[in-house]
Amino acid sequence: MLKLFSLNAFACETRRAVAERIEALTDSDIKNEAKRLWARNGTNKQRVSKMDRELAKASLISKIRTEENQKKDLDFLERYSSNANY
């Protein structure tokens, strides 16, 4: 029971951290991500369209989720690395 609770606590912390970081996204973050995506795709545009902003925001959200999951995994390993049951 204790193990299940601690894993659920990790999941809640991760969801909360992801939500906070998504709320903190600014228009300039989204615009910079759109330009980064253009550079990666070899596209050269002058204006950021609505579709570009949506794709950039989705890309940033995906990055945030990946980073927070990696942090969660590292925290778990640090906390339980000496425990032989894991």
CA distance 69 to 71: 5
Q: Which amino acid would we find at residue 17?
A: A
Q: What is the pLDDT of residues 21-79, one digit of tens each?
A: 999 999 999 999 999 999 999 998 999 999 999 999 999 999 999 999 999 888 888 88
pTM of the model: 0.78
What are the residues whose beta carbons fall under 8 Å from the beta carbon of 48, sequence distance 6 or more? 30, 31, 34, 35, 56
